[in-house]
């Protein structure tokens, strides 16, 4: 059966609002771009509130408040209030650092629907080394206690890589102790800062297999108690991920300075220009902007994707990954077995996994614009 080509794009379901690139942590796999948005360029409260209303009108149902660390915004509670007022299901993606019991109670009153808490490791030693923030783990555990007491629905997001994949069984226990309904077992994806840390973080093939085994076993055992979502190590897979549910198909990201991106790494693709919510309506950006149409659907596809029966399943994989690994954003994602570069990538993944290097931490965004030269 030949799949029907995608004609008119559907409205977006989800929007990721990157409220700031500030963060007390400096995880070496952070997905924030190398060129972070300046603090003085961040959108203000009213502009975000307008963007939330435009998003709801456009068809967005799920709003993810993210960063950086969204708690670094003083107006976070107001933003939650505005999002709920717009009718959006409001999810806070946080490391927990910067949240107090009082702030959490205010967010509860403002209508926050759900919290996704990140976990850098299951022991203070591991978590604080990875996050680059001493005392971060203990603080996070306190925050988790308040979250449980208030009764927020919780997803624990355990970010795993070569250094901490052995902690996966404990991460599953911690999720249950925290009262989480769901855990995301997310093996690091090599975008953003993670690209600089492949020698330090790339899991071995064996680790990836073991993690998959543990997840499958735990899914059976914890059915109806803890839902486990699993993102395996992508360089070791046979087929690429359906990134963002397909370019311009399901979701959009708004960067701290108001640029609207089809995915959080889209700025790595040099020929794309992004429009800004300060100047353009979200509706126009979603349906008519060049960036959202660049890789939308299947028309742009080269072989082997163009004649592949999986093309509506994964939309040819990740454009930013093709860019990062092959220098060509139009190429088939090299993770795919059908890509002529697949074998080479497997060898590179094994080499990264066998190597070692000190961690390169993510820095803080610049405060103000650099003085003109």
Q: Residue 8 or 307: which CB sits closer to another protein? A: 8
336 known ligand binder = no
Q: Residue 329: phi, psi to the nearest 5?
A: -70, -10
For residue 232, how far is the Cα from the chain centroid?
14
Contacts to ligand SF4 by CB under 6 A: 23, 25-27, 30, 32, 67-69, 95, 118, 239-240, 304-305, 308, 310-311, 314, 316-317, 332-333, 336, 338, 362
Is the C-alpha dihedral spanning 238, 266, 272, 247 positive or negative?
A: positive
DSSP 92: E
Omega within 30 of 0 (cis) for the link into 68: yes
Decide which of ligand SF4, another protein, none touches 79; Cβ closer than 5 to 8 Å per partner kind: none
For another protein, which stretch binds (CB under 8 A), given 26-34, 61-69, 294-302, 321-329?
A: 61-69
List the one residue from 6, 39, 41, 58 that touches another protein (CB under 8 A).
58
Decide which of another protein, ligand SF4, none touches 240; Cβ closer than 5 to 8 Å per partner kind: ligand SF4
Q: Residue 275 or 333: which CB sits closer to ligand SF4? A: 333
Segment 285 to 344, residues that bind another protein, using CB under 8 A = none
Minimum distance from CB of 287 to another protein (Å)?
13
Give the number of other Cβ atoms within 10 Å of residue 49's Cβ: 19
The pairing of strands 260-261 and 89-94 is unpaired
CA-only gyration radius of the chain, Å: 20
Task: For residue 75, give both structure tokens.
Answer: 């107006």
Minimum distance from CB of 185 to ligand SF4 (Å)?
16
- Residue identified by tokens 């690209």 is 195
Return the SS3 of 130.
helix
243 known ligand binder = no
Question: Taking CB under 8 A as the rule, does residue 84 contact another protein?
Answer: no
305 known ligand binder = no
Q: How far is residue 137's CA from residue 143's CA, in Å, rounded to a whole number?
A: 10
Q: Residue 116 or 259: which CB sits closer to another protein? A: 116
Q: Residue 212: phi, psi to the nearest 5?
A: -60, -40
Non-local (6+) Cβ contacts of 98 within 8 A are: 24, 69, 71, 72
Minimum distance from CB of 10 to another protein (Å)?
8
Decide which of ligand SF4, another protein, none touches 62; Cβ closer than 5 to 8 Å per partner kind: another protein
Segment 103 to 132, residues that bind another protein, using CB under 8 A = 113-114, 116
List the one residue from 77, 95, 155, 268 that touches another protein (CB under 8 A).
155
Question: Taking CB under 8 A as the rule, does residue 182 contact another protein?
Answer: yes
List the one residue from 89, 230, 239, 300 that touches another protein (CB under 8 A).
89
- Residue identified by tokens 């499958």 is 216
Task: For residue 207, give both structure tokens.
Answer: 């680790």
Decide which of ligand SF4, another protein, none touches 98; Cβ closer than 5 to 8 Å per partner kind: none
Residues for the chain: how many in total?
A: 373
For another protein, which stretch binds (CB under 8 A), given 20-28, 78-86, 151-159, 364-372?
A: 151-159
Q: Residue 181 or 205: which CB sits closer to another protein? A: 181
Segment 222 to 251, residues that bind another protein, using CB under 8 A = 223-227
Return the SS3 of 62.
strand
Task: For residue 99, give both structure tokens.
Answer: 């949240």
Minimum distance from CB of 285 to ligand SF4 (Å)?
24
Task: For residue 278, give both structure tokens.
Answer: 């300060």
Omega within 30 of 0 (cis) for the link into 10: no
- Annotated binding-site residues for [4Fe-4S] cluster read 23, 27, 30
- Annotated binding-site residues read 23, 27, 30
């Amino acid at each position: 059966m030949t799949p029907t080509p995608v004609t008119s794009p559907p409205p977006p379901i989800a929007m990721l609002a990157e409220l700031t690139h500030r963060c007390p942590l400096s995880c070496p796999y952070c997905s924030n771009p190398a060129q972070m948005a300046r603090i003085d360029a961040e959108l203000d409260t009213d502009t975000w509130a307008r963007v939330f209303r435009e998003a709801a009108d456009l068809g967005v149902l799920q709003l993810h408040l993210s960063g950086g660390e969204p708690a670094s915004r003083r107006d976070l509670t107001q933003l939650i209030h505005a999002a709920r007022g717009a009718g959006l299901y409001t999810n806070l993606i946080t490391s927990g650092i910067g949240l107090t019991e009082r702030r959490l109670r205010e967010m509860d009153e403002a209508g926050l629907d759900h919290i996704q808490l990140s976990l850098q490791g299951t022991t203070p030693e591991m978590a604080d080394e990875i996050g680059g923030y001493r005392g971060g783990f203990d603080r996070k555990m306190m925050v988790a206690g308040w979250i449980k007491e208030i009764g927020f629905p919780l997803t624990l997001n355990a970010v795993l890589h070569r250094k901490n994949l052995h902690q996966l069984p404990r991460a599953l226990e911690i999720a249950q102790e925290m009262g989480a309904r769901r855990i995301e077992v997310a093996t690091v994806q090599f975008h953003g800062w993670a690209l600089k840390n492949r020698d330090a973080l790339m899991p071995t093939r064996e680790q990836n297999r073991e993690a998959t085994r543990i997840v499958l076993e735990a899914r059976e055992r914890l059915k109806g108690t803890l839902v486990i979502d699993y993102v395996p190590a992508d360089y070791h897979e046979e087929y690429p991920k359906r990134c963002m549910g397909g370019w311009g198909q399901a979701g959009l990201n708004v960067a701290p300075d108001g640029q609207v991106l089809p995915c959080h790494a889209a700025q790595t693709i040099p020929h794309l220009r992004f429009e800004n919510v300060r100047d353009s309506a979200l509706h126009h950006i979603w349906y008519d902007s060049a960036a959202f149409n660049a890789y939308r659907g299947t028309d742009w596809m080269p072989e082997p994707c163009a004649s592949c029966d999986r093309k509506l399943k994964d939309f040819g994989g990740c454009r930013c990954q093709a860019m990062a690994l092959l220098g060509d954003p139009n190429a088939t994602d090299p993770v795919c077995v059908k890509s002529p570069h697949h074998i080479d990538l497997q060898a590179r993944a094994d080499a990264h996994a066998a190597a070692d290097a000190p961690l390169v931490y993510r820095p803080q965004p610049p405060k103000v614009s650099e003085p003109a030269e």
